[in-house]
Amino acid sequence: MAAVTELSFLLFALINNIHAEERIIIQKKRTSYTFNLPKNTNSCLISRSVGEEKLVLWNTSDLWSNNSSVPEHLKQRLVSTVNTSSYTILNLTHSDSGPYQEECWTEGNVTHENNITIIVCTTSIDRRGFGASLGETVNLPCKGAADNLDIHWLKQNSGYEQETWSRVFGDNMTSVMDNVRGRYQVVTNTSALRVSNVTTTDFTRYRCLVMNQQQCVSRYTVQLVPYEIIYHSVGETAVLSCTITDSTDYQPPRWMVINKTNSITHLGQQNQTVPSVDQNYSLVFSSLMLNHSGRYYCKVSKREQRYDLVVCPKFGPPAVELFSKGEEVNLKCRDWREDKVHGWFIKSHQKKGRIFSVTYQRMSRVSWSKYDNGNLVISNISVGDAGEYWCAVYDPDDYQCESTERTVLVYNEPFGIYSTFFKVRCSVLSVLLLMLCAAVVAVNLRTRRGEQLSAHTHT
């Protein structure tokens, strides 16, 4: 047990000194890991560093030498397949965690060099998807985190055939509050990873490693995917873009939709015209219907892009409600009924007219309950809360939108067009204008009467 603890300690002591191209492999306990070496090389060496000692696991030019430094308990778990240049460690344990190196030579020259760190975790928790739009801030949870355990966040690398990871905070393995770009933070109380101002490079998988005495207790995987709510009315045109493709994808993206029975339907086949997939792999609805509402996925390789399409009956004219800073605003969902499901959406002025859900954002200062009267309450309101708020009412059986109400929340500026000052000024100006008009009429009447008297005198 002491040897295991020492090796695990050395893993994280050495991990910061490994070459910048080092790749991190996360494996579950009692699984296996295979080293795949390039073919057509004279000799290859796979070694592992434990402190200052270098254990040679495989030497293809002298496999299983009598002078091998590999312990017998480890040698019994090593399997080689020379014909395919692959070497496997079976039944991984915590003691197998550590830095490894691959080196190959051809005619005396190094033609392959690879630094790998293997981290063995006791358990693995299924991944969960989280959606975010560009520019938003999202908290990715770390399930299993506790106050007495250490947390390390990793981010999946792209461009490798094998699943590899890198540290979110560079060489610093501790739960620091910022990385060099300043967009990643660890939330102190929950150990969640906060990603601010989301960009396209952030859409990948993340893993938090829950550590106990430098051993990985569990790994929890979350995937950050592009997500957007598209809100339309019947008869309009909608285009869902697929922006996750690039030149390295061998297969074109596939569109899928999850319907009310949670079954997956593949879209864009040749015999399907509504919706259709154009040359840019966008999903096009030429004339929306109520039954087009649903969750749509654009999938390619290990990535996906998600849309929630909400189609409601024709919109009526919105109501206008004024507010001043610091007030509490209560927006009513007048079509709310106990036998229906409803949701609140916001078309925010601050987010350049983008639509997002109050439920997903979990906005502070905003309270809403589908089990209450359906109202949306915004406390301590600010100028940034201005926008168009929509309450959509759904049928719980097929989750299709039955009605929608729109309320435009307008900030009542002290000297704006909705302010008391502006209204008083308009009233005063109106009175002055009426007085001016009356004076003009009086002058015109007096002038006309004088002209009539003058004409009568001459006659």
pLDDT of 261 > 70? The answer is no
Q: List, for residues 372-396, the tens digit of each pLDDT value.
A: 677 888 888 888 888 888 888 887 7
pLDDT of amino acid 335: 76
Exposure of 375 by Cβ count < 10 A (0-12 exposed, 13-18 middle, 19+ buried)? Answer: middle
| Surface-to-core class of residue 385, CB atoms within 10 Å of its CB (0-12 exposed, 13-18 middle, 19+ buried) | buried
User: Counting every residue, how long is the chain?
Assistant: 459
d(CA 210, CA 142): 8
The one-character DSSP state at 275 is S
Beta strands 215-233 and 303-312: pairing type? parallel
CB 152 within 8 A of CB 211: yes
**Does 433 score more than 50 pLDDT?**
yes
Q: CB–CB of 342/374 below 8 Å?
A: yes
- CA 203 to CA 298: how far, in whole Å? 14
* Residue ranges per structural domain of the chain: 2-224, 234-307, 319-411, 421-459
Contact 80, 87 (CB under 8 A): yes
CA distances from 225 to 201, 293, 308, 377 (A): 11, 20, 13, 29
Q: pLDDT band at residue 359, thresholds of 50, 70 and 90?
A: low
**Is 335 within 8 Å of 401 (Cβ atoms)?**
no
* Short-list 97, 145, 99, CA closest to 121: 97
Contact 412, 423 (CB under 8 A): no
Tokens of 268: 């864009």
User: For residue 60, which of 84, 32, 25 has the smallest C-alpha distance?
Assistant: 84
CATH, range 319-411: 2.60.40.10
3 state SS of 425: helix
pLDDT band at residue 30, thresholds of 50, 70 and 90? very high
Pairing of strands 215-233, 109-132: parallel
Backbone angles phi, psi at 445, to 5 degrees: -65, -40
pLDDT value at position 391?
86
Highest-scoring range by mean pLDDT, 118-122, 318-322, 349-353, 435-439: 118-122
Q: Is 158 a residue whose pLDDT tops 70?
A: no
**Which alpha helices (DSSP H) does 324-412 contain, by range?**
358-361
Asked whether the predicted pLDDT for residue 27 surpasses 60, the reply is yes
Beta bridge partners of 403: 393
The reply to whether 2-224 and 234-307 are identical in fold is yes
The predicted-structure confidence for 55-91, as pLDDT tens digits, reads as follows 888 887 765 555 566 777 788 898 887 666 788 999 9
Assigned fold of 234-307: Immunoglobulin-like (2.60.40)
The residue type found at 50 is: V
pLDDT at 344 over 50: yes
Side-chain-side CA neighbours of residue 396 (13 Å): 8
The torsion angles phi and psi of 50, rounded to 5 degrees, stand at -125, 100
Query: Is the pLDDT confidence value at 22 over 70?
Result: no
Q: Is the model's pLDDT at 199 over the cut of 90?
A: no
Mean pLDDT across the chain: 77
Give residue 272's pLDDT: 47
Q: What is the pLDDT of residue 351?
A: 65
pLDDT above 50: residue 360: yes
Whether the bond between 396 and the residue before it is cis, its omega within 30 degrees of 0, is: no
Q: Which fold, 2-224?
A: Immunoglobulin-like (2.60.40)
DSSP tag of 383:
G
DSSP letter (8 states) at residue 202 = G
- CA gap 156, 126 in Å, rounded: 15
**Rounded-to-integer distance, Cα 207 and Cα 190, Å:** 15
Lowest-confidence pick of 180-189, 251-260, 353-362: 353-362
Report the pLDDT value the prediction gives residue 3, as an integer from 0 to 100.
Answer: 42
Residue 31 has pLDDT above 90, yes or no: yes
In this structure, the strands spanning 205-212 and 215-233 are antiparallel
- Average pLDDT of the residues in 289-298: 88
